[in-house]
Amino acid sequence: MTNRILVLMLLAASFHSCAQNNTTMEKSIKDIYKTVQHRDQAIEYRANIQVGACSFEFLINDVPVQSYFENANGTFNVSAPFNDAILASGIQRWKLILYPAYKDRVQTEVLSPNILIDIEVEGLRHTAESVRTVYGPVSLITTPVKENDKGEEVFEHAGAPVAIYEGTFEAKVPYKLSGWSESKDLSKEDQEQLLVEVLRATQAYANCFKSKDTVGVTNLVYNKEVEYQQANFCGKEDSEEQWKYYLENFNLPDAIVQPIENYKMRIYGDGRLVTLERNDFPYIGEPVVRINYMEGNRKMISYLFATFHKPKGSDKLEIIR
């Protein structure tokens, strides 16, 4: 209830925020490729993740790459690109947090003995004709096991409420991004005040889709896109495609931008990033900016990523991822 009231209070300010962004019309997502460097050394790092029988969050350099909080009678599989979590060459940190699985929409109390973990990272080079693995794959973790009383191999921390694994790997990238490296440490700020600010900024982003304000979106995500497209060595077509992904969200059939609700504020990036995530099953961990729409007879959801930081010397939240 509190959240809903807060959202209503912030509405006016948000519209205002979106209108202000009209002043930066010259920026274009489609043109960012022109600033992209080192395309000849392009590499796409991916985390190949297979995790089963639990919920989990996987982070690289304290930036969320993937999480899963749905019913878990099986394995979750994804190959997740994460170049945008790498700011520069060198040692990268990874962290895996395992939570008890959801079963029939209810979270179990402890970690199952049947947990399966298999996470590796690899670097790919895409060409028009093929894809080649140019780095790795490097295994970060496979299921740590122990023998139970019956001599069977089970997950080593079966029965625990949570398990956290951390480690490092080395990645080479030709670029260097400033990202959030010099941004303000948000963990030291007044968290209630920060939440109000994050809500306001998030709502501003959502409102752009509501009012079909493409310029507003461009302004809000521009810095993020500059870094993202550099990290992913985007060419002309890629830049256009990036812009297409935004545009798609303006033209969804029967689109209804959802109110920001059921959220939880999460701080990442060693205290320098903040975002709102859904905390209701089965959407736990997903972004809160959401558009319901129809695809044929199917009810679909499109959600939009928005992770903020306060750049050095600024007290204003900006989308950086």
Partner 1 sequence: MADQNKQIHIAPLVMKGQSFEQNHRVLTLTKAEAFYATLSDLKDQLFSKYVPGTSTPEVDTEKRDEVPSLTEGYKDISWMWIVDPSADNIGQGGHNPTFSKGIKQGLVRVSFPKFLEGGGVLWLEPFAEQPSGSVANGLFVRAIGTPEILGVEWTDLQGNNINSNEVNFGDTVLLKVYTVGLYWDDIIIQLKDLDYLSMVDDPDDLPAYERNGIGTPKAPIAAGQKTPPKVYKSLTRRVKYAKYRPSSKNNYASAINDYLGTLATDNENHYVQIAEVEIYIDEYWVEDGGNSLKIFPTINNRRINKEKAFQQDFVLVKNKKQVVQSKLTPTGNVPILVNDNEFNLAAFHHCLYRAITITLPDKTVDGKKVPSRPVTLFEENSEKPELLTIRDFEVIAGDTGNLKKITLDVVGVENAEADCVTTPIHLQKTIVIESHPEKDIKRHPKEPEDNRWKMEGNGSADIGIFKQEGKTTREVRWLVYPMNVYTNEGDDNKLIFDARFPYNRADIDMAGMGSLKLPFIFRYFWLSDAVAGTPYVVHVATCRYDNRVKVIPYPDVEWSLAFNFSDPEDGKKSRITLASDSIQTEKRHQPLRKWVSIGDRQFGIGLTAKFNGEDEREYSSDYVLKLKEKFKTLVKLIDNINNLFNPNNANASEEDKEKTRQFLERKKGQIAEREAQEKKDLGKQKELLKDAVRRYRGTDNDKQEEREKKTIRSRQRSIRRANAKLARTAIGFDIIWPNVEGGLSWKLVQTNDNQEEQYRNKVGLMFTGAVEFSPLLGASIYLDFLALVQRLHPIAYAIIAIADLTISQMGDGSKIIVELRGTGILGGKFEGFYNKLTGENSFNKEDRDENNMPVAKVTGDFTVSLKVHIKIAQKKNLIFVTVEGSGEVELEAVATWKARAAIDANDKGVYANIFGNFDGIKILGKGKVSGKVSGRRAADVPENNKDASTLGGSMGFNVEFEAMPKQEEELITTIQLGGN
Cβ atoms within 10 Å, residue 11: 13
In the complex, minimum distance from the CB of residue 96 to partner 1, in angstroms, rounded to a whole number: 15
The Cα–Cα gap between 205 and 219 comes to 10
DSSP letter (8 states) at residue 120: E
Of 136, 286, 311, 318, the one binding partner 1 (CB under 8 A) is 286
In the complex, minimum distance from the CB of residue 240 to partner 1, in angstroms, rounded to a whole number: 11
Cβ atoms within 10 Å, residue 318: 17
Residue 94 or 228 with smaller CB distance to partner 1? 228
The Cα–Cα gap between 238 and 48 comes to 23
The Cα–Cα gap between 233 and 200 comes to 32
Task: Give Cβ neighbours of residue 143 (< 8 Å, ≥ 6 apart).
Answer: 115, 116, 117, 118, 155
Residue 213 or 238 with smaller CB distance to partner 1? 238
Q: Is 145 in the site for partner 1 (CB under 8 A)?
A: no
Residues 248-267 binding partner 1 (CB under 8 A) are: 248-249
In the complex, minimum distance from the CB of residue 84 to partner 1, in angstroms, rounded to a whole number: 6
Region near partner 1 per CB under 8 A, out of 7-15, 77-85, 167-175, 265-273: 77-85
The Cα–Cα gap between 144 and 18 comes to 49
Q: Is 184 in the site for partner 1 (CB under 8 A)?
A: no
Q: Is 53 in the site for partner 1 (CB under 8 A)?
A: yes
Note the residue count of the chain: 321
Which residues sit at the interface with partner 1, rule CB under 8 A?
44, 46, 48, 50-54, 66, 70, 72-81, 84, 101, 103, 108, 112-116, 118, 124, 126, 129-133, 221, 228, 232, 238, 241-242, 245-246, 248-249, 282-283, 286-287, 292, 295-305, 321
